[in-house]
Amino acid sequence: MTFVVGLTGLPNGGYAANDIRVGSFARGEFQPWLEVGVQKVYPIGPYVVAGFAGSVELGFWAISDLDHYVGDPPEGFAVYPSVIARWWWRRARRAFSLAPDHLRELGLSVVLVGASPEATPLAVSHGFIFRSPTFEPERLAFMTPTGIGSGTGLTQVTESLAELVAPENLNDGLLRFEVGLPLGGADALGFALGAALTDDPSDHVSAEFQVWRVRRGEIAGNTNEVTALSPGATSRVMPPLATSWAAFRDMTASAGHDASAAIA
């Protein structure tokens, strides 16, 4: 069910991708909330993005706390992703230990993807994953799509990206799409994800998703929205997404759901 994936080690920056599905557990099974959507990845400072899976309430706490922790660096300055990872995990561990039982049962994972602010010819990227209950940082392996979430959706999307970024295929894979195209790599990842989700659709994973690219001084996002121009073709439109805990509570209340039970 649901996914957030990080990809680092490329010479032109790092990537993250997320679907928008949330739901709850009832009778031991995941029940998707098809009328509710949530953005799961957010810019954290000028060089880093963070995404969450697990409890939506705790996920929004993590995004807000990371944003507060990083602050608003002066123009031209940034916080290294490794510096965030070295210190922030203790804050997450403490907050999780103090959270109500029903939220801790849903768990929380956070993925961090960032580009080094060093002025080098290549935009070196790296990232980390923090998982409850300890949140000790796990460095993302270079050139290896790594995700948070659970169920078949996560395996489905990471496997769909593996061939695209395999070192032996790189010149014919992801890097080829970056030549002359501002978001070419993000588009390539989007095509691969879209094909995988079309071949094996599941209401546990949304057909709509977002892809993010992080480079030095730039964070760019894209969606897999499609506008149909040919007769008989189908458009894909990104539904309204909650981008804060307050907005998510309002959205779920309108749909008759309990926001505190939501899992992403």
pLDDT average, residue stretch 47-75:
92
In angstroms, how far is the first alpha carbon of the chain from the final one?
8
- What confidence score (pLDDT) does residue 172 get? 60
pLDDT average, residue stretch 222-228:
75
- What confidence score (pLDDT) does residue 57 get? 98
User: Which position has the higher pLDDT, 168 or 90?
Assistant: 90
- What confidence score (pLDDT) does residue 146 get? 87
Is the full-model pTM beyond 0.85?
Answer: yes
Determine the CATH number of domain 3-259. Answer: 3.60.20.10
**Strand ranges (E), the chain:** 3-10, 13-19, 23-26, 29-32, 41-43, 48-54, 108-115, 125-131, 138-139, 146-149, 209-215, 218-223
Where is average pLDDT lowest: 32-36, 62-66, 173-177? 173-177
Query: pLDDT tens digits, residue range 93-119?
Result: 999 999 999 999 999 999 999 987 776
Calpha distance 193→157 (Å, rounded): 6
Strand partners, 50: 42, 112
- What confidence score (pLDDT) does residue 163 get? 72
| Domain edges within the chain | 3-259
User: Which position has the higher pLDDT, 23 or 189?
Assistant: 23
Calpha distance 115→126 (Å, rounded): 6
pLDDT at residue 46 is higher than 90: no
pLDDT average, residue stretch 229-244:
80
